[in-house]
Amino acid sequence: MAETKPTPPWAKDMPEGAFISYGPTYKVGEYFNLFKNDSASGMKYYFFDPTENGFEKGKAYPVLIFLHGYTNALEGDVCINYTGAEFFASEKYQQALGGAYILVPLANEKRNDEGKVVDSWGPEYQEPLYNLICDFIKSHAAANGGISKKALWGNSAGASMAYFMGEKYPDFFNVLIPVGSDDLPEDSVIDTWDKNDVHLFLAMGKRDEFNDYQGKIVPRLPRLNKMKHCFIFTPDWVYNGDKGIASINFGKEMGQHCLVNPMHANLLFDDGTTMDERLPRGLTDWLSYALTDHPYIETTPVLETERLILRPLVFDDLLAIYKWTGDEKTAKFMLYPKYKSPADGVDFVNSLYTNADDLDYGFVWKETGELIGSGGVYHSHSPENELWSIGYNIRSDMWNKGITTEAITKIVEYARQTRKIPGLAGTFAVDNIGSRRVMEKLGMTYLEDTEYTKWDGSATFKAQTYRIKF
């Protein structure tokens, strides 16, 4: 006789054409053999060492620390999966991150005489957990090159613990990923995270069966949206890899609470499409970015004009960037080919600011808060080229408003104050009248005729180079 699955209470609210999925579609336990175990501070833990799994020794790698949910420590090896840690040991995820240690501490959970699970995560674990992490780094990473950055991931009760640890040790963790908790700290703590350049990935389904999205998350969104580094993932529906709405019933429906399953699957469906268009290649792209130093972003000042905020571009801008790079009109005369999806911008964002002299800014329209374009001044460091180059692109619906001129004028002003640039040169297709006008308004004049070809060889344009010397 076929097993009868319980009908979730939200089934009547599902979108038309949706179906219920009763479990993750990935194989649990596939990578358990890659984990070892040890203990410190009176607690057991599992760990994965990248230097024993194909990555070179003598190099510092980040450590991903995964905190389990309530009762999960009693599940043995399966706890590795329940935390969301398992697949981050896979070759695919490790390659995406460039190698990373994984640490899965276990609370000393046990059942009392009444069968209730006690000694789960709580304030009394804060110091021992901190000491365990430090001991792990000393015992298993220091001799191999050490740790670069520390990311703390928590699921359910572990997510609440991640918030508590981030509050108590705000300068210790570089990345916080709480999955399925509404225990947000006070604004003063978030202010401290901002000062310490902490990256926060807040993940919770809007229909979470155990947490109050409307009452506890929504009122905090204005402050969270002002964080320097905050990615908010609060889907209307939590899906499994087969694109079905997630249902898990352990005596209580909790499919919408178990967001860790799609997080475990890299926020990608089984067919490779994304669960969030801001993450076209998955969660590992965001995490890799968060675990990488970006000194330019932290040290370059935000500029302001009458209508614009000018700031460095960041990973979270991928979707906004696609609105002009994927626009036929904007991309027509650019060196890059028209983007087919936001995924085309991942490598671009990750490669930004490798030249410390360059000044590359995003243009934020004050009226709406939208990122609408980007541009700046750039130095080739070529001895034969004393002039710096100029570049810019902007959404086509914002053309003919003087926005690019306004932005570039401010950037050039700042560049002259900080870079001692002798002058600027810029090249534009002769049919790109708007670009010529921008350069003329900057005081640039004709230098020579030339031509250029798009990077993919799809088009070559007759062009002119303009310049200005200071």
pLDDT tens-digit series, residues 14-42: 999 999 999 899 999 999 999 999 999 99
pTM (predicted TM-score): 0.87
Query: What integer pLDDT is reported at residue 47 of this predicted model?
Result: 98
Cα–Cα distance for residue pair 4/208, rounded to 1 Å: 23
Contact 285, 315 (CB under 8 A): yes
Query: What integer pLDDT is reported at residue 383 of this predicted model?
Result: 55
Q: What is the pLDDT of residues 397-431, one digit of tens each?
A: 999 999 999 999 999 999 999 888 889 999 999 99
Displacement of CA 71 from its chain's centroid (Å): 30
Domains of the chain: 11-290 (3.40.50.1820), 296-469 (3.40.630.30)
Cα–Cα distance for residue pair 449/445, rounded to 1 Å: 12
Cα–Cα distance for residue pair 302/292, rounded to 1 Å: 21
Contact 88, 100 (CB under 8 A): yes
Cα–Cα distance for residue pair 110/173, rounded to 1 Å: 29
C-alpha dist (Å) from residue 70 to 117, 123, 454: 8, 14, 55
Q: What is the pLDDT of residues 229-269, one digit of tens each?
A: 999 999 999 999 999 999 998 888 999 999 999 999 999 99
Q: CB-based contacts of 329: which residues, under 8 Å, 6+ apart?
A: 396
What is the full DSSP assignment across 8-45?
PTTGGGSPTT--EE-S-SSPTTTTGGG-EEEEETTEEE
Cα–Cα distance for residue pair 97/92, rounded to 1 Å: 9
Structure tokens at 207: 């229909």
- Consecutive H or E run containing 262: helix 260-264
Largest Cα–Cα distance of the chain, in whole Å? 87
Query: What integer pLDDT is reported at residue 1 of this predicted model?
Result: 44
Cα–Cα distance for residue pair 378/365, rounded to 1 Å: 23
Contact 241, 64 (CB under 8 A): no
Q: What is the mean pLDDT of each run of 10 residues along the chain (470 residues)?
A: 76 95 93 97 97 95 97 95 97 96 97 93 96 97 94 98 97 98 96 95 97 97 91 97 94 92 96 94 94 82 95 90 94 94 84 78 93 91 71 95 96 91 93 96 95 96 94
Coil vs helix vs strand at 327: coil
C-alpha dist (Å) from residue 397 to 307, 323, 391, 393: 16, 10, 19, 12
- DSSP lists the bridge partners of residue 113 as none
